Structure 1
Amino acid sequence: MRDQLLKRMTIEVRSFAVCEVRRGWPLETPPLGSVSLHYVLRGKGSLRDSSNQSLPLAPGSLVICPPNQRLTVSETVGDSFQLPHCEPASGTLEWLSSQRDDRLPGVLILCGMLDVVTPELGGSPFDRLQAPVRIASANAAISPLFEALFEELTTQALGCQAMIDALMKQCLVLLLRELQASSVHPAWLLALEDPALGAAVSAMTEDLGRRIGIEELAALSHMSRTTFIARFKRAYGLPPQRFLAEQRLRQGRDLLVATSLSVKQVALRCAYRSRSQFSAAFKSRFGRDPEHYRRDPRGDSR
């Protein structure tokens, strides 16, 4: 069943950048709104996340980061350098340099921002990841894939986007294998271990405007209410209703940015009874009310 889940996993590569970071000139990103991968092509350095956890970087290192992380990449310790536009447009490769002085030692990193969805999981296998995870260069199969990705991005040949998506899916499957084998953060991979919950998650996420109760969800999973709640929380880290609320708020966030629907219309599409109820929940989750978020979504930090 896990193979079927991964087979149906879809990947949309939002953007790629090559980040060149010189000694004494760290590169600091704004919060990244999606799962991000960082592969070290050359040089050595460190990556620090929003909680100040620091991971070493060396050629062949691969780091996967959960969404909404503010990252600082350094060749060595120095003053932060704020890069105002760290998210290039989809389908392009942008070269980002903290300092162009070639006399300074540097670290060169291929960075990608991805939207990963597995329908039965109601999102991505990486949604429960809480902190960046680093894989060293031990897996010989990963390195050629990223070298091929880099080649596709730089040449932009016919079928480039299809090839990039296919290569990235291979990279993610290899990454999941590596993490399972090494038992790194096993809790966030449990969703792949309990696919019996897939029917319930699909029912919850296919129509987020529909009201659905725990009893119906438990029946879809062929479990008692108590067993369903316990297994769901173990696999997803949240009780079913909190998980559903999170999915609805994410959809509301996307609708605010991508459509001209009024806040009340967005609220109704996300199963909220009123605009005020939606606004309160949205502000609690994202730190700003819907109107302010719509005006400036780039300030999203969660």
Structure 2
Amino acid sequence: MNSPVNTIDRPELLDPLEDILSLTGARARLTARLVGHGDWALLFAAPPGAKFNAVLEGTCTLTVDGHPPLTLRAGDIFLLTRPVDYALATSPTVDVQPAAPYFRPTPAEAAVVGSPTEPVTAGLVGGSFEFDGRARQLLLDGLPPVIHLPGHAEGALSTQQMLTRIDRELRHDRLGSRVVAEQFALVMLIDLLRYHISVGAAGRSWIYGLAEPVTATALRAMHADPARHWTVQQLAEAAHVSRSTLAVRFKQAVGQGPLEYLTRWRLELGADRLAKTDQGIAAIARAVGYGSEGAFSLAFKRMTGQAPGAYRRHTRGHPDDAT
């Protein structure tokens, strides 16, 4: 029997960002380095999950439908949270070419565009972030299509040092270099998210709630003990504010009330256990704060459109049994 996931069993996980990244199984996959000479323009196919590129040297422009062109300089990183095509270019007058033919099957070998006799105009390293389960609903849907971390931003120096290390690992292809590079890339994801909420970006989801002190305190309390029978009054006391103040600030930042959020988070924890463990549905219901299997099943079907048993079969590769 598979062991239960430990999100609920580890009350020291007070940070909702850490909690959700752990639940979604966030991991990085480095694809390749790109070195461009002279003027060039490449079109990249829509990534299936979240895609990032970091500029190691030079400058280029990122173009994504529905988003203003973004000039990228050495040290800049961007994250795409939606599966959309995007283009990178050093000149608006050059014909755009598909990027795929330029990439080699050997990951350590850089893709080269343009004539090597011309100066290097931009060098990048790129990759993707993969997630398990309901990551798009939990994390990605609450973010804008493009997140940009400028190299000159406060706290970005450590990110640039990580970029240098990633580039070195990929260039020399030493023992364990891919693992090292991908772990640094995962830290970059956290830096991107930290920066995004620190600059007062507009949005409504749990991640924006982390930038509001009162809301962040309530979120941490719920994530520390999701099965507890919280009331708005108890959460307000934890945040040292009145019930009305907590309700207003939470709704403004997260887009829903505290107990609505708690219900959704409990069901997400339940979905994770259904997908990854062999625990009985009644045991899962109790573990995530429901008094009965029936109450859990009703709420779960309302959120996902599937009964818990059907959801378990579907996520384990037996969709024909998901009735």
TM-score interval, smaller chain: 0.5 to 0.7
Amino acid at match of 1:282: T
- Please report how far the alpha carbon of residue 294 of structure 1 lies from its aligned counterpart in structure 2 after TM superposition: 0.9
SS of the residue aligned with 2:31? Answer: strand
**Secondary structure of 2:79's match?**
strand
Name which of 126, 147, 150 aligns with 2:167.
Answer: 150
Q: Which residue of 1 aligns with 2:30?
A: 17
1:114 shift after superposition:
7.9
Give 1:1-302 correspondences, 5 Å limit: 14-19=27-32, 26-32=44-50, 37-41=52-56, 44=60, 46=62, 48=64, 52-53=66-67, 55-56=69-70, 58-60=72-74, 61-66=76-81, 69-75=82-88, 95=107, 108-113=124-129, 128-139=142-153, 141=157, 142-152=159-169, 155=173, 169=187, 172-173=190-191, 176=194, 180=198, 184-185=201-202, 191-263=209-281, 265-272=283-290, 273-283=295-305, 290-291=311-312, 293-295=314-316
Which digits, 9 at most, give the CA deviation of each residue in 1:82-113, with x for residues without a partner?
xxxxxxxxxxxx9499xx78669997442353
Give the letter aligned to residue 279 of structure 1.
K
Residue aligned with 2:248, SS: helix
**Could you give the per-residue CA deviations for residues 175-218 of structure 1, whole angstroms, max 9, x where no partner exists?**
7458746x554877764553344443233122333332212212
Structure 1 stretches lacking a partner, 5+ long: 82-93, 116-122, 298-302
1:229 CA drift (Å): 0.6
Gaps of 5+ in 2: 1-13, 35-39, 89-94, 101-105, 117-121, 132-137, 319-323
**SS state of the match for residue 260, structure 2?**
helix
Q: 1:9 to 1:294 in 2, by over 3 A?
A: closer
Label 1:145 to 1:114 Cα distance change in 2 as closer, same or farther (>3 A).
Answer: farther
Q: Which amino acid aligns with 1:38?
A: N
Aligned residue pairs total: 259
Classify the secondary structure of the residue corresponding to 1:28.
coil
Q: 1:174 to 1:268 in 2, by over 3 A?
A: closer
> CA offset at residue 148 of structure 1?
1.8
Q: Deviations over 1:58-88 (max 9, x none)?
A: 453311345xx3242334756798xxxxxxx
| Cα distance between partner residues in 2 of 1:25 and 1:268 | 50
Distance 1:281 1:216, change over 3 A: same
Amino acid aligned to 1:147:
T
TM-score between both structures, scaled by the size of structure 2? 0.57
RMSD: 4.9
Which region of structure 1 is more displaced relative to structure 2, 244-253 or 169-178?
A: 169-178
Q: Deviations over 1:125-160 (max 9, x none)?
A: x99533322234445734343122332456456899
Amino acid at match of 1:261: Q
2-structure distance, mates of 1:275, 1:179: 34
* Greater Cα radius of gyration, structure 1 or 2: 2
The question of whether the paired residues in 1 share the 8 Å contact of 2:55 and 2:124 is answered with: yes
* Counterpart residue number, 1:91: none
1:240 offset after TM fit, Å? 0.8
Q: Is the 8 A contact 2:273 2:284 kept in 1?
A: yes
Partner Cα distance (2:180, 2:228) in 1: 34
Q: 1:269 to 1:150 in 2, by over 3 A?
A: farther
